[in-house]
Structure formats: structure tokens, C-alpha cells
Amino acid sequence: MPGWRVTLSLAGRTKAPLAQAGALRIGGFGGAEGLADYLRAAGMELVIDATHPFAARISANAVRAAEMAGLPLLVLDRPGWVRREGDRWIEVGSMGEAAAAALGEAPRRVFLAIGRQEVGAFRVAPQHRYLVRSVEPVAAENALAQAQYILSRGPFAEADEMALLREHGIEVVVAKNSGGDATYGKIAAARALGLPVVMVARPPAGGGMKLESPEAVLSLLDHARGIPALRGE
């Protein structure tokens, strides 16, 4: 980002994150207050929330911390996926029991493509056989009774997702409505194969100036130096 010195903050969930430009810091801040202290101490001028749409806690902390530190907040808020003709979505409000219950009573072969943190929510439905895909291994306390685990990092192409669903005889897919292209392949593949998708809705968005793409954020930053509202003045 020409004209800006950027520090990227990661939670530290991924052991070997992909290399990125700019300075990198890893690990939590200790809540909104900790993040506000960090922003002040580091002399930051602007906060960009570019987290995953389901990372609700850090997004809420960013809103409060930016307020406390008197800084503008830009939020990269990519649009969620929208149901298309042929989609068999079962929409649920949250990952918890609602998603597990949506799989029904009868045993099914389920593809869990939801990351590793909430896999444990499906322990209430041990009758199903699960194929679980995540970047990092699922912790022992979240392990499921009948599950096969694959470690893999996106993006995932539709054709590969179709092959995977077929190979494992998947009958239903569970996904978060993350939006974007990188993980849409499984949704398109499920549609092509006529499979239902339990689609988990996003947590509600918080404050900040919302922009739909990295390009939109960059273009705003290009002009931001002269905009008082973006400089917190």
C-alpha cells in the first residue's frame, strides 16, 4: 500500500501462515482495551478489519478499540453468497445445535467444511459419518466419533470439490456463508450434484466503514491521506 506502513495482525491459529507483505505481529491483544493500547502505543492512524466474516469477537473489539483510540475503522465486508437456482440450502442462524439438528435423525455422510474450531458442535449428532476438512488439525476435545479428517488450505476449485464429494459419497455439506470465490467451489459442486447444503448465516456486522473488496479498500487508502474523516480529525 504505497504511502502507508502496514502491520498485519494474525490471531496465531495457523502454524505456518502464508507470507504477506509488511510487518507482522501474531497473537491476541487482550480484548478491546488491549487492542486500543496497542494502537496508541504503535502510533497507528487507521484500522482495517480484514478478518473472516465469522470472526465476530475481534471485529467487535476492533470497533470498540478504534473508538477508544480515536481512529477511523475500515471493514472489509465481502458480500455473502446468495442462493441460486438449483441450490438446496437449509439455512440456519448459527453453527451450534441448529446446524447439527438440520442434518436430521437418519445417519448421513456429511462434509464439514467449517474450519476446525466449531467441529465439536456436531458431537450431539454422532449417528452421522463426517468428512472434516481444515487447515490445522482438529483438537482432541472436538473430535467426532465417526470422522475422517483431511488437512488442506484453499482455494478449492469446483471440479476438485465435485471429485471429493463423489469419492466420499457425501450426502450433505455444512458450510459457513463466508462469501468470496476461494471456498465457493463446494457450494457450486453441491448444486451440480443436487446435494443439500446446511448454510450457516453470518453473525451480525458491527460498526466501521464497510467496503466490499480489497481493491475498494486500497483505492480508498490511495485518497485517504487528504480526507479528515478518515484521519479521525
Ligand X SMILES: NC(=O)c1ccc[n+]([C@@H]2O[C@H](COP(=O)([O-])OP(=O)(O)OC[C@H]3O[C@@H](n4cnc5c(N)ncnc54)[C@H](OP(=O)(O)O)[C@@H]3O)[C@@H](O)[C@H]2O)c1
Give residues in contact with ligand X (CB under 6 A): 9-11, 13, 28-31, 34-35, 51-52, 54-58, 61, 115, 117, 176
The C-alpha atoms of residue 77 and residue 96 are separated, in whole angstroms, by 23
Whose Cβ is closer to ligand X: residue 134's or residue 171's?
A: 134
Nearest residue to ligand X by CB is 28
Instruction: Indicate the residue among 135 and 216 with the shorter CB distance to ligand X.
Output: 135
Residue 86 beta carbon to ligand X: minimum distance, rounded to whole angstroms: 26
Q: How far is the CB of 97 from ligand X (least distance, A)?
A: 17
Which residue, 66 or 129, has its beta carbon nearer to ligand X? 66
The least CB distance from residue 58 to ligand X, in Å, is: 4
CB of residue 61 vs ligand X: minimum separation in angstroms? Answer: 6
Q: Which is nearer to ligand X, 31 or 169 (CB)?
A: 31
Give 9 or 110: the residue with its C-beta nearer to ligand X: 9
**C-beta of 194: minimal distance to ligand X in Å?**
27
Q: Which residue number, 51 or 142, has a Cβ lying nearer to ligand X?
A: 51
Q: How distant, in Å, are the alpha carbons of 39, 110, 170 from that of 166? A: 48, 12, 6
Question: Which CB, 171 or 178, lies closer to ligand X?
Answer: 178
Enter the C-alpha cell of residue 143. Answer: 473430535
Residues whose CB is less than 8 angstroms from the CB of residue 156 and which lie 6 or more positions away in sequence, other chains included = 182, 183, 185, 186
CB of 94 to ligand X, least distance (A): 12
Alpha-carbon distance of 48 to 144, in angstroms, equals 36
- Supply the minimum distance, in Å, between the C-beta of residue 203 and ligand X: 9
